[in-house]
Each structure stands twice: as structure tokens, then as C-alpha cells.
Amino acid sequence: MSENEMKQKIDNSKKHKLIDGKKIFFVLDPKAYESLKNNSKENSLTMTKFLEKMLLEKSQENNENVSRIFALTKLNKGLYEGTNATYSNINQIAYSLNIQKLLDGGEINDLSKIDLKNISVQLQNLCNDITSLRILILEFLLILDNNGIETKKIKNKLQKYKNQIKKEDQKISQENTNV
């Protein structure tokens, strides 16, 4: 591309900006101005180009984060619905136990003991679901923190809960092999 063609392309770009672009004026703190000036020089860009590039990159990054959050939410919709079903099951079993206890004069019969075992199983499932929800929330925080100050803390908590789920799964596997 010749020098004249490049100048023509740049001139057309500037004309396009002058027609479609929006002018903004703002006052910067002296430190912010110096930082902008230095960063634009380091990147061999004008201050306007540097600001445009920075804003567009940040916008794209935010769109990617939103997409990742929606994907995580979609994947965990079943977890949310399952947790609600577990709460509902526990509620129904407890209601049934209360009715049986009233009808049996306050004593717990063999049928009630089976129901108590079911409640125990449902509560264990609920604990696992709550831990999975904690992991989901921490993954959201990691996306939003984006290598910020809290990233290390969040990653440590995330690993803690993942290990907790692993231990629970091993415990359940052992119980199933012993039965």
C-alpha cells in the first residue's frame, strides 16, 4: 500500500469519526492525565485511540464474563431445581411424621423410623447441593473478580469445597459397598 493510499484511508477514517463519532469533553486529575499520556506513548497511540481501545476491550471482556455466567447458570439450573425438590420432600416427610405421631399417641413406630431414615438421606443430599451452590457462587466471584485482589482467597475456598464434595462422595461409596 502506497503512502498516499494510507493517508487517504486515515483521512476517510477521520471523516467517518467526525460524521458518526461523538465528541466528549472531560477533566482529568493531573495524575490520571500523566498516566494516560504515558500509556498512550508506550502503546504508540494517541490518547483518544488509547481510550477507545481500552473501552472496547473492557466492553468485550464484560460481555465474555456475562456469557460465562449465563453458561454456568444454565448448567446449574438442575441443581437449583433439585434443591427445591429436596426441601419439598423433607417438608412432606416431616408433615407425615407429625401426623403419624399425633395418631399414634406421641410414639415413634417402625414406619416413622423409616421416614426418619429418608429425612436423613434427604438432608445429606441437601448438604451436598448446598456445597455445590457454594462452589457455583465462588466460580461466579472468580469470573467477576478477574484476577483481582480476592482471587487467591476465592480459589482457596473453591478448592476447600471441591475437596469436601470429594470426601462426601468417597464416604457414600464406602457406605454403599458395605451395605
Q: Would you list the domain boundaries of the chain? A: 28-71, 76-178
**Which one of 6-10, 60-64, 106-110, 133-137 scores highest in mean pLDDT?**
133-137
Is the Cβ–Cβ distance between 140 and 72 less than 8 Å?
yes
Please tell me which residue, 53 or 97, carries the higher pLDDT value.
Answer: 53
Q: Which pLDDT does position 56 carry in this prediction?
A: 81
Judged against a pLDDT cut of 80, whether residue 79 lies above it is answered with no
Q: Which of 36-50, 58-72, 106-120, 147-161 has the lowest mean pLDDT?
A: 106-120
Residues 50, 39: Cα–Cα separation, whole Å: 8
Residue 43: phi and psi, rounded to 5, are -95, 5
Residues 140, 146: Cα–Cα separation, whole Å: 10
**Which residues touch 100 (CB under 8 Å, ≥6 apart)?**
109, 111, 112, 115
Judged against a pLDDT cut of 60, whether residue 42 lies above it is answered with yes
